[in-house]
Amino acid sequence: METLHFSAFPRLRAILFFSAWSGCWIRDCFREAIDASPSFPWEQVDYPAVIAFKTALLTKAAVAFFDSTSPAPQVAYQQFCGENAAWLDDFALFMAVKNALGGVAWTRWPPEIAWRQPLAISQWSNRLATEIEVIKYWQFEFFHQWQTLRAYAHDRGVQVIGDIPIYVAHDSADVWTNRSLFSLDDQGNPLKVAGVPPDYFSATGQLWGNPIYNWTLLEKTGFRWWIDRFQSAMRLYDIMRIDHFRGFEAHWEVPGTDTTAVNGQWIKGPGAALFTVLQAELGQLPVIAENLGRITPEVEAIRHQFGFPGMAILQFGFGTDEQSHTFRPHNLVRELVAYTGMHDNDTIAGWWSSQGDAGDSISTPEEVKKEHTFARSYLNFSDEPVHWAFIRAVLASVADTAIVPLQDLLGLGSEARMNLPRTSSGNWRWRAKPGVFTPELAAQLGQLALLYER
C-alpha cells in the first residue's frame, strides 16, 4: 500500500468538514450557510477565520443533531461517548471550562476547578452541561468523518501515517487531568521543560516549553498512560511516527524559567522498558522512529531491539554535520524511511535558492554554497530541476519506504514551507490548490516508481 502522512493531523480538528450522517441532513440543513461561506485563501489556511466560521456552523449542527428524532445517529453518539469516556469526559469538561473562562491557561482558573476538587468538577459539569455535550458531539462527528476518510483511503490501497509527539502541551486536558505524571510545581507550572540543545536550526537550541514527564511514577503505573495513548493512535493511523524518539532514551531538560535551551542537560528516560511494556500489551508496533539530531548508540540500540525503522533526510546529507554522511543514499540501509525533506525543513527548491543566514539555520553563506556544490556533484544533475534530482535519489535508495512531501513534488519554494522550528506562529498553513496533481505529474512520478520498484 502507498502511505499518506498526516503529520499535521491535530490541526484537522480546527478545519472539520461536513459529512452526511445517516444521509445528508447536515448538508441540507446548512446548505445556505455553507454556500455563503467566506472566501478563504487557497494557498494558506486562515486559522482565525476558519475556526470562527466553522465553530458557528458546528454549534448549529450540534443543536440540530440533538433536536433530531432520527434514532440511529443518537445511538451511535451514545456508543461513542461510552467507548471513549476515559478521555472524552475530561477533555470536554476541560474545553468547556477553558472557553467559559476566556481561554486562559488552567493554572489561572479558580483553584477549586484548577485542582479538580470533586465538588467543583460536579458543579462545573452541571453548569456547562450543554457546552460539554456540544464538544462531545464535535469529537463524535470528527472521528466518524476521519474513519470514513481512512476507509476511503484503504479502499484505494493507501495507508495513513500519523504522528505521536513525545510531549504534550502544558495547557492541555492531558496535564490538567494527570498532573502527577508531569514535573510541576505547587502552582502547576513546569519545573523543567523540554527542548533540544543548539543544532542545525538554532545556535541557542530549541526551547519547546512542554512539561517533562515524571517517568518514575509512570513506570510504577506500568506506563498505563502511554499504553492508552498508543492504543488510541493505533485506532486512527496505520503507521505511527514517534516524534523525537531519542527523548525516550535521554531528553534535554531545561529549567522552566529559562528563555533559551542553552542551559539544559541530558537526563535519562525510560529507554527500552517503555517499549517492552507497549509491545507486550499491544503487539508489534507499526512505528517509524524519528531518530534525528544527536543520536547516540544507546538510542539506535533501542530502535533496533524493537525493529523500528528510522529516518533519513536527504537534504541533511550535504552539510558538515558529523551525521550528514548517514543521510546520503549510498550509505542507507533497508530499515529506513527516506525523505527528500520533512516538515521542519525548507522545501528542496527553497533550500536550493537560499543563501544562508536567512534565520532558518545556523549555516553560513559559505557553508550553504558548499552544500549546494556538493549536492550537484553527488546527484549528478545539471538541467534537471533540483527537486526531481532529490526525488530520483530518494526513490532509487535501498530504503524500504520513500516519502516525498507534496511541496517538493510540486517544486515549490520557501513560501510553501510547512514549519519553522523554534517559532510559535505562522506555521502549518500551507495548502495545495485543487488540480495541482496533474496527469502529467502523476505520469512522471509513476515512471520513477516503476523504475525503482516503488
| Alpha-carbon span 185 to 192, nearest angstrom | 9
pLDDT score of 27: 57
- Is residue 368 within a helix (H) or strand (E), and if so which, with residue range? helix 365-379
Separation in Å, CA 148 to CA 155, 233, 271, 273: 11, 16, 36, 36
Q: Each residue of 368-425: pLDDT tens digit?
A: 999 999 999 999 998 899 999 999 999 999 999 999 999 999 999 999 999 988 777 8
Query: Residue 4 above 90 pLDDT?
Result: no
Q: Each residue of 347-365: pLDDT tens digit?
A: 999 999 987 655 555 678 8
Query: Residue 272 above 90 pLDDT?
Result: yes
> Which three cell numbers, joined as nine digits, stand for 15?
478545519
Mean pLDDT of 206-216: 95
Phi, psi of 139 (to 5 degrees): -65, -40
Query: Residue 36 above 80 pLDDT?
Result: no
Residue 344 annotated among the catalytic residues of the structure: yes
| Alpha-carbon span 426 to 419, nearest angstrom | 8
| From 290, 360, 371, 408, active-site residue | 290
pLDDT score of 14: 33
Q: Is 53 left (phi over 0), alpha (psi -120 to 50) or beta?
A: alpha
Mean pLDDT of 426-451: 95
Q: Is 30 left (phi over 0), alpha (psi -120 to 50) or beta?
A: alpha
- Is residue 299 within a helix (H) or strand (E), and if so which, with residue range? helix 297-306
Mean pLDDT of 264-282: 97
Residue type, 230: F
Mean pLDDT of 53-66: 92
Phi, psi of 187 (to 5 degrees): -95, 0
| Alpha-carbon span 275 to 294, nearest angstrom | 21
Q: Each residue of 213-259: pLDDT tens digit?
A: 999 999 999 999 999 999 999 999 999 999 999 999 999 999 999 99
Phi, psi of 439 (to 5 degrees): -60, -35
Query: Residue 33 above 80 pLDDT?
Result: no
| From 199, 344, 346, 371, active-site residue | 344
| Alpha-carbon span 235 to 147, nearest angstrom | 9
Mean per-residue pLDDT of the chain:
91
Separation in Å, CA 414 to CA 26, 71, 158, 344, 368: 39, 50, 28, 12, 16
Query: Residue 65 above 70 pLDDT?
Result: yes
Three-state secondary structure call for residue 193: strand
Query: For the chain, what percent of residues have pLDDT higher than 90?
Result: 80
Mean pLDDT of 23-34: 62
| Alpha-carbon span 62 to 6, nearest angstrom | 27
Q: Where does the pLDDT of residue 268 fall: very low under 50, low under 70, confident under 90, or very high at 90 and above?
A: very high
pLDDT score of 198: 83
| Alpha-carbon span 123 to 128, nearest angstrom | 9
Query: For the chain, what percent of residues have pLDDT higher than 70?
Result: 91
Pair 267, 251: CB distance under 8 Å: yes
Three-state secondary structure call for residue 190: strand
Q: Each residue of 141-159: pLDDT tens digit?
A: 999 999 999 999 999 999 9
Across-strand partners of 430? 44
Point out the least confidently predicted range of 6-10, 138-142, 236-240, 439-443: 6-10
Mean pLDDT of 313-322: 92
- Is residue 192 within a helix (H) or strand (E), and if so which, with residue range? strand 192-196
Residue 67 annotated among the catalytic residues of the structure: no
Q: What is the pTM of this model?
A: 0.89
Pair 161, 233: CB distance under 8 Å: no
Mean pLDDT of 334-342: 97
Point out the least confidently predicted range of 11-15, 125-129, 258-262, 266-270: 11-15
Q: Where does the pLDDT of residue 166 fall: very low under 50, low under 70, confident under 90, or very high at 90 and above?
A: very high
Q: What angle do CA 19, 21, 25 make, to 5 degrees?
A: 90
> Which three cell numbers, joined as nine digits, stand for 430?
500551507
pLDDT score of 201: 67
Q: Which long-range contacts (CB under 8 A, 24 or more apart) does 20-29 make?
A: 21/65, 21/73, 21/141, 21/144, 22/70, 22/72, 22/73, 25/64, 25/68, 25/70, 26/61, 26/64, 29/60, 29/61, 29/64
Query: Residue 11 above 50 pLDDT?
Result: no
pLDDT score of 2: 52
pLDDT score of 69: 82
Cell 527553497, residue located = 350
DSSP 405: -
Query: Residue 53 above 50 pLDDT?
Result: yes
| From 90, 243, 281, 300, active-site residue | 243
Q: Is 167 left (phi over 0), alpha (psi -120 to 50) or beta?
A: beta
